[in-house]
Amino acid sequence: MPKLKYQAGFSLLELVITIVILAIAAGFTSQAWGWWISKTRHRVILENYYTLFAFARWTAASREKLVTVCPLSEKGRCLDDWQLPVSVFLDSDNDKTPDGGQILKQLTVDLGSYRMRSRTAGRGYFQFNSKGMTHGAMGSLLLCPQDPKNGMMSYMPVNIAGRFRVEHDEDGDGIIRLAWGSKLNC
């Protein structure tokens, strides 16, 4: 009995079906990839600010000096524009400028499709005293997505003890409801 010899390769129909399946999978993957990138960028922004505020608090307590956190103008004075790089510096004389012009740490974050606002009653800065607690009034930051459909809003308060925490707009309605009844929106 003669043995049948099979030819190697794919038929045109098999090749077309494979390409169609790969195209559909790529479509789903690209949508998920965009969501994943946005979520990762959001998390990185929050982690960077958390680290910056923890450093400022630790520096104030360990050096037992007043420390200020704020974006600086070209002249080295605090501004309320949180799209700019944010600086941490010793501020012994409480004039909102770095002592001796020395910045201890500066954070430049690519906010991408987000914008950062402060809720500091127009001050635009945060301060920590020699015990690591807030000096003067407390405040918070609000991270707002430029397109609410493609990002999550987050609220970042610094409490009187100097601790930084984060709350999110979990339901995606563009409003964060605080425990005491206040509502925040971008």
Is the pLDDT at 170 greater than 90? The verdict is no
Residue 40 pLDDT class (50, 70, 90 cuts)? confident
Q: Which of 80, 88, 58 is nearest to 163 (CA)?
A: 58
- Predicted confidence band of residue 52 (pLDDT cuts 50, 70, 90): very high
Query: Once rounded to an integer, what is the mean pLDDT over residues 128-153?
Result: 88
Where does the pLDDT of residue 159 fall: very low under 50, low under 70, confident under 90, or very high at 90 and above? Answer: very high
What is the per-residue DSSP string for 30-90?
Answer: HHHHHHHHHHHHHHHHHHHHHHHHHHHHHHHHHHTS-EEEEEB-TTS-B-S-TTS-EEEEE
For the segment 64-116, what is each residue's pLDDT rounded down to a tens digit?
999 999 999 999 999 999 999 999 999 999 999 999 989 999 999 888 889 99
pLDDT of 1 higher than 60: no
Sign of the CA dihedral 163, 169, 38, 85?
Answer: negative
pLDDT attached to residue 32? 66
- Taking a C-beta distance cutoff of 8 angstroms, is the pair 125, 98 a contact? no
Report the pLDDT value the prediction gives residue 39, as an integer from 0 to 100.
83
Q: What is the pLDDT of residue 7?
A: 65
Output the CATH code of domain 34-185: 3.55.40.10
Q: Are 142 and 156 spatial neighbours (Cβ–Cβ below 8 Å)?
A: yes
Average pLDDT on 44-56 reads: 95
Task: Estimate to the nearest angstrom the gap between the alpha carbon of 67 and the chain centroid.
Answer: 22
Candidates 145, 182, 141; CA nearest to 165 is 141
CB atoms within 10 A of CB 186: 16
Instruction: Indicate the pTM of the whole model.
Output: 0.80
At CB < 8 A and 24+ separation, what contacts does 142-147 make?
Answer: 142/116, 142/117, 142/118, 142/184, 142/186, 143/42, 143/45, 143/46, 143/114, 143/115, 143/116, 144/114, 144/115, 144/116, 144/117, 144/186, 145/113, 145/114, 145/186, 146/113, 146/114, 146/115, 147/113
Domain boundaries of the chain, sorted by first residue: 34-185
3-state secondary structure of 24: helix
Q: Is the pLDDT of residue 124 over 60?
A: yes
At 14 the pLDDT is 82
Confidence label for 37 from pLDDT (cuts 50, 70 and 90): confident
For the chain, what is the radius of gyration of the CA atoms?
25
